[in-house]
Chains A and B, each alone.
Chain A
Amino acid sequence: QQKVQQSPESLIVPEGGMASLNCTSSDRNVDYFWWYRQHSGKSPKMLMSIFSNGEKEEGRFTVHLNKASLHTSLHIRDSQPSDSALYLCAASDYNQGKLIFGQGTKLSIKP
């Protein structure tokens, strides 16, 4: 059982639509969350991080965090074909520098 669970496994969204991705940790020691994006055949790159309860917005991307439920979500508005990628959620605790990743959500944007 992975400590970081993502849903859905895959998602198809029309161009211009809203994509919503979810992530929950089962490890109560977790303090910080990240979202990484990985285009096909490439390495993962950090997209957004969130460390406090609430919401954080960067352009078309918004992340939410509820620390009580250890749940984070990523929302992409006005989705573009270039947003098609594997989105990986990761979590770590305060003391250690290691990140534990979820299994990913494969997002496809249809023109």
Chain B
Amino acid sequence: EAAVTQSPRNKVAVTGGKVTLSCNQTNNHNNMYWYRQDTGHGLRLIHYSYGAGSTEKGDIPDGYKASRPSQENFSLILELATPSQTSVYFCASGEGTGRNTLYFGEGSRLIVV
């Protein structure tokens, strides 16, 4: 099974501060994704990537940037964190076809105070 690791697993940030969530996958998948999960909303897509150097906006990109410097790594950046960004963030990877199964990391819990 694909291995997707996220860091940090838990983070407390101050309002207005910068937060970087990192994700690494070891199965050479083309696609990587960032989702956030809040009660009642399931998983909402923030940004995704088709490969190194590419980033695409998902359904809720406002307030977030993404970076894909290599096949293995995909970061989510909150330049000016706000309390509304308190959530659990999941990174996932997939082969990149329409039928691809996603493999998720264990999640990063972010609290913005």
Contact A97 B40 (CB under 8 A): no
Determine whether the beta carbon of A97 is less than 8 Å from that of B96. Answer: yes
Chain A residues, CB < 8 A from B28? none
Q: Contacts A31-B98, A34-B101, A43-B90 given; indicate if A98 touches B45 (C-beta within 8 A).
A: yes
From B33, B56, B98, B102, give the contact of A93 (CB < 8 A). Answer: B98
Tell me the total A-B contact number using a CB cutoff of 8 A. 67
Q: Is the CB of B96 within 8 A of A43?
A: no
Q: Are A98 and B42 in contact (CB under 8 A)?
A: no
The total of chain A residues at the interface (CB under 8 A) is: 30
| The residue from B58, B59, B90, B100 contacting A44, defined by CB atoms under 8 A apart | B90
Within residues 25 to 77 of chain B, which ones have a CB less than 8 A from any CB in chain A? 30-31, 33, 35, 40-45, 48, 50, 56, 58-59
The answer, yes or no, to whether A61 is at the interface (CB within 8 Å) is no
Interface secondary structure of B, over-half rule: loop
Q: A96-B98, A98-B33 are in contact. List 18 more A-B contacts (CB 8 A).
A: A2-B41, A4-B42, A32-B98, A44-B43, A44-B102, A46-B101, A88-B42, A90-B102, A93-B98, A95-B98, A97-B50, A97-B94, A98-B31, A98-B56, A99-B102, A101-B43, A102-B42, A103-B41
Compute how far the CA of A95 lies from the CA of B96 in the bound complex, rounded to whole angstroms.
9
Which residues from 58 to 111 on chain A have a C-beta closer than 8 Å to any C-beta of chain B? 88, 90, 92-104
Known contacts: A44-B90, A103-B40. The answer to whether A98 contacts B48 by CB under 8 A is yes
